[in-house]
Amino acid sequence: MNKHVLMPTYMKDFACIGSECEDSCCTGWQVTLDKKSYKEYKNIKHPQLSKSLQQGMKRNKSDATSSANYASFHLDQHGRCPMLNERNLCGIQLNLGEKMLSPTCKTYPRVVNLVDDTYEMSAKLSCPEVARLVLLNKEKMECEEAEVTLDPSWSMLSVLDTQNPKLAEKYFWNIRVFTIDVLQNRNWSIEERLVFLGLFIQKLEQLLAQNHIEHIPDLIHEYIDKMESSDIQASLDMIKGNVKMQMHIIMHFVSLRAKLGVSSERYVSIFSDMLSGFGLDQGDTIDVDLLEQQYLSNYTMYYEPFMSDHSYMLENYLVNHVFESMFPKSGDSLFSDYMLMAVIYMMVRIHLIGISGHYKGLNEEIVIKVVQSFNRVTMHSSNYLEMIKTYFKENEFDSLAHIVAILSTRVAE
């Protein structure tokens, strides 16, 4: 069906590169099957596929009421989907056509949302080709409306109704546009943009708590004026980071990685490079003072010189996250959504700072690999994201003051 779809301009250039992909979405992930696809595959009579389909599918009896998560393909000993052939091409698509793919396989890496009567489509940066398209664009990310053929079997991630005058969603578009404007303000560092956005979100939550939804447009105008004021830069310049707290988070990464046992070889390699760059690959004992010295040295010598000319890469990463996740769609808390975005950015930065020490510098290829592989193991794992949120709450890092201290790279003298 043809629909008018709002989407980032990079979507016009996206096409799956199939067997040439360096991190196939058909390996390392459980491939879920809806009930309709499972029944169709069960009844297929095909000389090359029938046996693989019968042996490769497994019913999900722990979620018997779900038609979307009805079954899955059982990965082989190498973590590959049993439908992959020796050339890393899908046997179902090759022999039966794209129409026979399950909704999971048809949709990924696309993300389809619906805001009122407007369809939106973007893509996940866990896909290497999407990561390249998004991160290598030196211009500010833009969206446009185009007529697109939407496959009715594609999975819909979120649906939002902004017409209820009693809910903050009424100002969804206003808040979203302002958020993107802040993230694309290239007069500030990425960290300064996130801090300023946090100040706005905090004020916004106060209005919501007081049920003063009608004052949201005034708040946006107030912060637009602040963004254009010279006074705000002086305030941002005064903010200092807490390196000790950032070291605490690095050490938590090490234990979390061991606890989760991540299977992605691509991510394991960048994680190992990060440890090497921080000098944490020599044994089990961590000298916090030496770690702090290495962290600051890597940042000053390798990370900052590269990112000062390539900040658009992480800017685009954040803007794509805002569009894809429909930020600021009200959930438990707008601040919670903001905190998660800020923390994920900070986690990517820590990986890059560590890896920059390992390679004695950064380049575009390294940044793409880090962002893509990190997103693959985190943004598709609700368990990982919940563990991150729990860690920040248990350590009382979930206030704006703590988020600012973690984000800021300025060190108190």
Between CA 389 and CA 385 the distance in angstroms is 6
Q: Which helix (H) or strand (E) holds 294?
A: helix 288-298
Reading the chain (413 residues) residue by residue, the pLDDT tens digits are 788 899 999 999 999 888 888 998 888 888 889 999 999 999 998 888 888 898 889 898 876 667 888 999 988 888 889 998 888 889 999 899 988 999 889 999 999 999 988 899 999 999 999 999 999 999 999 999 988 888 887 877 888 888 766 566 788 899 999 999 999 999 999 999 999 999 999 999 999 889 898 899 999 999 999 998 888 888 888 888 888 888 888 778 767 766 666 678 898 899 899 999 999 876 667 788 888 899 999 999 999 999 999 999 999 999 999 999 998 875 558 888 899 899 899 999 999 999 999 999 999 999 999 999 999 988 887 777 888 888 888 888 888 998 988 888 775 44
Q: What is the DSSP letter of 78?
A: T
Q: Which helix (H) or strand (E) holds 368?
A: helix 364-378
The pTM of the full predicted model, rounded to 2 decimals, is 0.92
Q: Helix (H, G, I), strand (E, B), or coil: what is residue 15?
A: coil
Between CA 39 and CA 34 the distance in angstroms is 9
Between CA 56 and CA 274 the distance in angstroms is 36
Peptide bond connecting 109 to the previous residue in cis, omega within 30 degrees of 0: yes
Q: Are strands 71-73 and 31-33 parallel, antiparallel or unpaired?
A: antiparallel
Q: Cβ(85)–Cβ(91) under 8 Å?
A: yes
